[in-house]
Structure 1
Amino acid sequence: MIVKCSRSSPNPGRARRGLLRLSPAALLAVAACSTLPDSGPTESVVLHAAKDLKSNPLGFAVLPITPSVAATLAAEVPPLVSSLDTTDITPTHNDRIGAGDVLAITVFELGSGLFSSGSTASAAQSSELNAASGGTTGVTNQTLPPTEVETDGSIAVPYVGRIQAAGMTPQTLAALIQARLGSKSQNAQVMVRIASDVSNTVIVSGEVHKPGRVMLSTAQERLSDLVAIAGGAIYPPEDTHVQLVRRDRTAATDLGTLETYPREDIRARPGDRIHVIYQPRSYTVFGAAGKEATETPFKSPHVSLAEALARSGGPADSRADPNAVFLFRFETPEVARSMGVSTPVTPQGVPIVYQLDMMSPTSYFLAQRVPLKGHDLLLLANAKTNRFYKFNQLIGALISPAITAAWVAK
């Protein structure tokens, strides 16, 4: 007697009439098949659920992974951090004066001048100024009180008036002040230094050891440099999400990508805000995999579908259907539309199930092109014969003691 185990029958009436004609042993077998445990559905159950409105309230679609689908998924990437560099082609300068900066202005004069009541210049400074002035002695210097750049970018300098300083370098501002003092002071020389640089800074916050304001230098630090200056990330690079806010735009990637791909590790600009977030990525495996169902961390910047299947042990020989490997994912509406999926959008995205046939050699190439995302779910479907094998094992476990006892009795 052969008993076929299945979850449902397309014709319940005929199934009931057939059960009435079965022998008690057959009825016991059918009952045992229907109650045997399983690690997941079969391929036919998943495909049937996609077409049944009652079983599919989300309206998910099942798409086989073809070369075109794999190409679409491979090109699906979040907004690249490097894309923020294309919005402004103006060269970045980290030595410009800006609103909020505090300036230290020192004026050097010869003989009796506007600032002659100040102290005598140092020997080295006097030597330089004497050489510039033809050897004249009696050089004095006066450091003005700390001068803060106003909100409108201007400063007030005694005997000079108000000057628009924002956007200038300290050297350019010094030359401008010196030129305006020319008719009022004897051979004045001016030095300007940014004592407190606020405008040329970025804010680094989140999961770093020393969050706060980081001043940019003329070395033009990159994003990963600023994370390092802030004490480094607390968590591993692949679990560290770096979000860059520049003006009214936002982009993000993981720290591992910044360290691996220099093109994404762009130079920071004054006013940038960098948020370092602990965001471990993982995927979940269910069904007839070679290993037990588990949540698996990425542990690397990128994981392909092929790598994820290998980490899970692949389809189990004794109970898996290699024709039916399913990837459950919420896609963005844009990607769903590009693949012709018209499923309604949910708060998480568009639900799509991708099917991979591992009995086809081509699928192994395609699986290498499909990148996994955080919270993806892999289901390795059970083979249809799995329940029949389990039933045989159950019957064997029940009958074997009786056979052994009868053999011993002889």
Structure 2
Amino acid sequence: MCLGHLKCARRRKNSVQTFLACLSSLGALTLSGCNTLPDSGPTESKVLEAARSQQLNPLGFHIISVTPQVAGILSAEIPPLISSLDIASSSSSRNDRIGAGDVLTITIFELGSGLFAPTGGQAIPGVAPGPSANVTNQNLPPTQVETDGTINIPYVGRLHAAGLTPQALAEIIRGNLSGKSQNPQVMVRISSDIANTVIVSGEVHHPGRVVLSTAQEHLSDVVAIAGGAVYPPEDSHVELVRGDKVGATDLGTLESFPQEDIHAHPGDRIHVIYQPRTYTVFGAAGTQATETPFKSPHVSLAEALARVGGPNDNRADPNAAFLFRFEDPVAAKQLGLDTPPTPQGIPVVYQIDMMNPSSYFLAQRIPMKTKDVLLIANAKTNKFYKFDQLISTLISPAITAAYVAH
């Protein structure tokens, strides 16, 4: 072998050794570098591992795979039980009762020369003249019910009026006038009703005091009388304060579930609050992490995933889409969850496999709820993909420069 060929062989050998050393260094760099790269969310194994760890899972949540049975329970859409306030009420409400602060109009009819009418009397229109037609009537000055629930009537004295109907109070006044007046008849009317009212405040067109009638208005009726909600029903949070109890739901539920649209009671306070429903997306979705508004009365899990672009082709593990939720206690009981409750509800994570075609049907049945969190897990190869992009970014200029120099 000539000297030139020997030198070429040695150069080739050195090049191969250098190339192998570079590959070895690159492999070590890849393994160490991948662990230090940032990521947008955990992988499926990390989520499952966290659920099994007491240290990483202080709430004690469980991960439930979405099955037809689970989808059936969730699709029942159990509304907030504002109707429990109606059950908790000790007595049925009456909207025709006199209360403190009311102003009463009292009219007294008497035969002949009465206690309250001028001498000579006044004939009743349409009644033929005669002894029985000499009837007088007199309206007493507006009578306000005192804070102790009493009123003062001339020739009668102080009477307790609070809690009585106008007809019952009229009969009591008539009974007390018997023997002092000739065949008295009494009519009582509430001219300024304060006791039989509710206060409506917040995001309605005409906030203020709404007078209840004997028609027994529902909560949605009262909101409508106040001009209706400013914002869509599903984004209008209705808070009911009744005595020392508080209940809440959205106006859309009151309109869709009659059993929840309970009767308003005198003294109720109704606050209508603008509370737009949103869900939050993290992880390897087609878009960046974002808070997404519902923008429609009902949004399914399938629609929620589609709105954020679904799993990202380059980064996501479509086998592992997770729905984090504080579940309703009733639904949690049906699911057999033993997780300790929190003030927000029962924490639970639902997992759906988007590589299974059946999951797309199930996702259409599951309704999203406000404050839900969607996590599309990162693929295990995501960090290698990122590292490859990083290396390409660093090496490409050097390769280009070497090529140009050559």
Q: Under a length normalisation based on structure 1, what TM-score does the superposition of the two structures give?
A: 0.78
The residue number in structure 2 matching 1:305 is: 301
Pairwise CA distance, 1:272 = 2.2
Give the letter aligned to residue 65 of structure 1.
V
User: Any conservation in 1 of the 2:106–2:140 contact (CA below 8 Å)?
Assistant: yes
> What is the aligned counterpart of 2:125 among 124, 127, 133?
127
The residue number in structure 2 matching 1:240 is: 236
Classify the secondary structure of the residue corresponding to 2:248: strand
User: Any conservation in 2 of the 1:257–1:301 contact (CA below 8 Å)?
Assistant: no
The residue number in structure 2 matching 1:196 is: 192
User: Any conservation in 1 of the 2:79–2:253 contact (CA below 8 Å)?
Assistant: no
The residue number in structure 2 matching 1:373 is: 369
**Which structure's CA Rg is the greater one?**
2
Structure 2 counterparts to residues 232-311 of structure 1, below 5 A: 232-247=228-243, 249-311=245-307
Query: Structure 2: where are the runs of 5+ without partners?
Result: 1-20
User: Any conservation in 2 of the 1:254–1:301 contact (CA below 8 Å)?
Assistant: no
Pairwise CA distance, 1:355 = 1.1
Pairwise CA distance, 1:407 = 5.4
User: Any conservation in 2 of the 1:107–1:142 contact (CA below 8 Å)?
Assistant: yes
User: Any conservation in 2 of the 1:118–1:141 contact (CA below 8 Å)?
Assistant: no
Pairwise CA distance, 1:113 = 1.7
Identity %: 68
Pairwise CA distance, 1:247 = 4.5
- Please give the alpha-carbon distance, in whole angstroms, between the structure 2 residues aligned to 1:55 and 1:193: 67
Query: Structure 1: where are the runs of 5+ without partners?
Result: 1-19
Classify the secondary structure of the residue corresponding to 1:194: strand
Classify the secondary structure of the residue corresponding to 2:210: strand
- Please give the alpha-carbon distance, in whole angstroms, between the structure 1 residues aligned to 2:392 and 2:23: 21
Structure 2 counterparts to residues 10-89 of structure 1, below 5 A: 23-75=24-76, 77=78, 79-86=80-87
Pairwise CA distance, 1:263 = 4.3
Deviation digits for residues 202-250 of structure 1, max 9, x if unmatched? 1223444544332112343322232233344454433321122335543
Q: Under a length normalisation based on structure 2, what TM-score does the superposition of the two structures give?
A: 0.78
Classify the secondary structure of the residue corresponding to 1:81: coil
- Please give the alpha-carbon distance, in whole angstroms, between the structure 1 residues aligned to 2:91 and 2:133: 45
Give the letter aligned to residue 126 of structure 1.
I
- Please give the alpha-carbon distance, in whole angstroms, between the structure 1 residues aligned to 2:233 and 2:342: 31
Equivalenced residue count is 386
- Please give the alpha-carbon distance, in whole angstroms, between the structure 2 residues aligned to 1:134 and 1:184: 22
The residue number in structure 2 matching 1:17 is: none
- Please give the alpha-carbon distance, in whole angstroms, between the structure 1 residues aligned to 2:289 and 2:326: 20
> What is the aligned counterpart of 1:213 among 198, 209, 215?
209
Give the letter aligned to residue 70 of structure 2.
V
Deviation digits for residues 101-145 of structure 1, max 9, x if unmatched? 221112233432212338976xxx8315x45x8586655432223
Change (3 A) 1:77 1:271: same
Bigger shift: residues 172-181 or 215-224: 172-181
- Please give the alpha-carbon distance, in whole angstroms, between the structure 2 residues aligned to 1:216 and 1:310: 46
- Please give the alpha-carbon distance, in whole angstroms, between the structure 1 residues aligned to 2:34 and 2:24: 15
Classify the secondary structure of the residue corresponding to 1:326: strand
User: Any conservation in 1 of the 2:113–2:120 contact (CA below 8 Å)?
Assistant: no
The residue number in structure 1 matching 2:386 is: 390
Classify the secondary structure of the residue corresponding to 2:29: helix
